[in-house]
Copies of this chain bind each other. A is one copy, B any other.
Amino acid sequence: MTNNFELYKVFYWAGKTGSLTQAAKALYLTQPSVSHAIKQLEDSFGLTLFYRNSKGVSLTQEGAILYSYIEKSQILISIAEEKMAALKNLSSGELRIGGSDSLFKHYLLPFLEDYHAKHPGIKLHLNHGTTPETISFLKEGRIDIGVVRMPIVDDQLEVMKGIQLQDCFVAGSRYAELKGVVMSMELLLEYPIILFSRNSRVRMAITELFQSYGYEIKPEIEVGSVDLLIEFARKGLGISYVTREFVSKELEEGSLFEIQLDVNMPPSQVGFMIMRNMPLSSAATKFIELIK
């Protein structure tokens, strides 16, 4: 036996208000419709659910048992509907972004602040990882959006351009004599170089660039975070290859300066990835609108 669940909604209101007429008003129906609906339920069970009297209805023994279950069920549905409304209007929900810590900190942070201020109910999850990890997370559905360096070639993914960044070599006061000097690659390679760890997108890009000119760039020091790249360069341990926009503060205050090279460093593009042909959550849609 499997009833039309709509009947339970009618039953719930009839039980709750103790009146078919009141239930009809609550449901924007007419009283005969409600009366008919209750009769249908009763017939389907072969049980009488209500006592009818001149001032309304009251639950029978059996009706009361049914009501105890249906009430809980209906309340759950009401909560679910409220929850859905909250998700829709972004007063609730979560936004899961994957990418590198440096992009979070130096590029995404203002957007995240803005977003959080506008939608304080949305929980933010920042999932840091390498580009391939981020892509995996995206495909596994563990994040909604991935933020990485372009180019990304994966036809399961839809990639949108973000800001354009410029990588460059920087040094601290220990190498002050290089300030203002336009260096060749060959010359640069005579200094100790500090690079990001091997599996990063930036590292691959710079390695390829040098290779295309016939050089091999071998770092003296390899580090795992942008902060360390900056810190080591400031302390004079070598010349770091960093994203210029991420060291704007240090360049401005003079604790670091940019090394001029005689070749153009290609810009690098930040990209947002989402799954192609997969619907985005409201929270994620809104965030992407914000960034664009």
Contact = CB atoms under 8 A, between A and B. Distances in A.
Interface in A2-30: 2-6, 8-9
Contacts of A72: 73, 76
A109 B73 CA distance: 41
A204 to B, nearest CB: 32
| Chain A at the B interface: SS class | helix
Contact of A60 (B48, B74, B281): B281
Given A46-B88, A84-B45, A282 B62 contact: yes
A181 interface: no
A187 interface: no
A146 to B, nearest CB: 16
Contacts of A290: none
B88 A47 contact: yes
Contacts of A4: 6
Contacts of A88: 45-47
Q: How many copies does the complex hold?
A: 2
Contacts of A1: 81, 85
Interface in A203-218: none
Contact of A69 (B5, B9, B80, B94): B80
Given A69-B77, A76-B73, A80-B66, A282 B47 contact: yes
A70 interface: yes
A76 B77 contact: no
Nearest to A7: B5
Contacts of A62: 84, 87, 93, 281-282
A263 interface: no
A116 interface: no
Interface in A147-206: none
A51 interface: yes
A117 interface: no
B45 A8 contact: no
A2 B12 CA distance: 14
A89 to B, nearest CB: 9
Interface of A: 1-6, 8-9, 45-48, 51, 60-62, 65-66, 69-70, 72-74, 76-77, 79-81, 83-85, 87-88, 93-94, 144, 278-279, 281-282
8 contacts: A46-B282, A47-B87, A60-B281, A61-B281, A62-B93, A65-B80, A65-B83, A69-B77
